[in-house]
Each structure stands twice: as C-alpha cells, then as structure tokens.
Structure 1
C-alpha cells in the first residue's frame, strides 16, 4: 500500500508547516514595508483619491424596500448597488463636482419583467439637488428621479 501511512502523513504535515511559515514571512515583510504614514518624496502629500469627494451622494435613493421600485445605494468607497425595479445593478460612481456624479462600469442582470419600467438601467450621470437625484441617460437626457431615503 504505497501512498498512505505515517511516513506520507509526516511529509504532508511538514509541507503544510513549511508553506504556512513561508506565507507568514511573506506577509510580515509586506506589512513592515508599508508602516510609514509619510508618502515617498515622489508622491505629493495631496495625491488625488480615487474615492468620491462628496459624502452628499452617499446613501440610499429610491424605495430600497420595494423590489419593484427603482433604487440605488451609493457607498462611500465609490461602489453602487441597486435595482431598476426588475434587474439588479452594480457598478461604480464618481463625484464630478457641482452636484453631479458619473456612473461607471455599471452591470445589470437582464431579466424580462412584464409591466416594469426599467428606465434606471439606462443611467449614465446624475445631478443631486438637496434630496432629489435626477438621473440622466445618454446625451444628458433626463430619464427619471430618485428621492433620498437614507
């Protein structure tokens, strides 16, 4: 019976321990390399962030409790999740300044739902004025509005 027994188990255990030790050393070296809060001289201290700069857009828009109503949730990390009332939406958003946001890399499921107006799936940009988000499609055409709900 080759392939099993105490000798094989010991070799397997030794291999697993070696792999775990190598992983710890690798992660330890990576963690210690990035402990300084001071940016390198080649990177300006005010390097632009890839995160949205306005917290005004962050939150829930539309009726997030009604699965048949259009809604968006914009997270502070620049991601979005939502529904056009039928299909799920995911993607990214970015603050363009002046109350305007741009939607990027938006993906949607493609379910057919009778009697549901799926206008939100055509989103491209939006403007925010107080608690109202005006959603724009191609060529800045208004396709709908969402009210802030959270």
Structure 2
C-alpha cells in the first residue's frame, strides 16, 4: 500500500511541475526596418535592436542591454545590465530609454514618463 501511495504522490508531484513549465515564446516580430544599429549624435553612442528580442548599446561611456517587448506603438525596453564607469561630460540619456518608436530612418527614445530623450538615426 505504501508503494502505491508513494507512486501516486510522485506522479501527482510530476504532473504539478509539468503544469508550471512554460512553453517557449515565439520570436518577436517587428517591421524589418526596426532591426539594426541606430547611431546617436553622441560620439560612440548607439542602440542595436536584434531580431531575437534583445537589445544592446553604449551611451558613449557605458554599455547596456536587455530584452524588449513589442507594445501597441512602441518597443518597451527591459534593461538587463549596464556598466557603471565614470565618464566626465558624457550625457547618459540613451541608457535611460524605456520605450522607442521607429519613424522611417529615425528612432525616437522616451523615458518611463513618456518624455522624449533624444533621437537616433539608422547606421
């Protein structure tokens, strides 16, 4: 009887764990013109949007990156990492970007409050 009960509990536990598993997510789809590298007016600063749902860049001093999701009218950036070097005189607005919109050859960066931080152009 103990073996039957132990077996049943094992099966129940495995079924519960299987229910917690998540299915792989589908690749994020964007207009083809959104992917690629976008240059900032700041020397050395850029933002790269990749087709695997990730982004990376540099604000002219520090590197940063993470993942993004596609919203109704914009990409929502979810920061994953940033370096923290001190660089005198560098405006680090680019790494503060929360959402972006692509309008032709211009990428517009916004902060969490929806305030425009700056614009980048296609490399």
TM-score, length basis structure 2: 0.71
Structure 2: 5+ residue stretches without partners: 1-22
Matches within 5 A, 1:127-138: 127-138=101-112
TM-score, length basis structure 1: 0.59
CA contact (8 A) 2:61 2:85 kept: yes
Q: CA deviation at 1:51?
A: 2.4
CA contact (8 A) 1:89 1:107 kept: yes
Which aligned runs of 4 or more in structure 1 are off by greater than 6 angstroms? none
Where does residue 50 of structure 2 map in the other structure?
A: 75
The CA distance in 2 between the partners of 1:103 and 1:62, in whole Å, is 17
Which structure would you say has the larger RCO, counting Cα contacts within 8 Å and 6 or more residues apart? 2
RMSD: 2.3
The CA distance in 1 between the partners of 2:116 and 2:108, in whole Å, is 7
Where does residue 53 of structure 1 map in the other structure?
A: 29
User: Given the alignment of the two structures, is residue 62 of structure 1 paired with residue 39 of structure 2, yes or no?
Assistant: yes
The CA distance in 1 between the partners of 2:105 and 2:44, in whole Å, is 17
| Higher share in strand | 2
- Equivalenced residue count is 100
Matches within 5 A, 1:1-150: 49-54=25-30, 55-62=32-39, 68-98=43-73, 100-149=74-123
Give the 3 Å change call, closer, same or farther, for CA 67–134 of structure 1 in structure 2.
closer
Q: In terms of Rg, which structure is larger?
A: 1
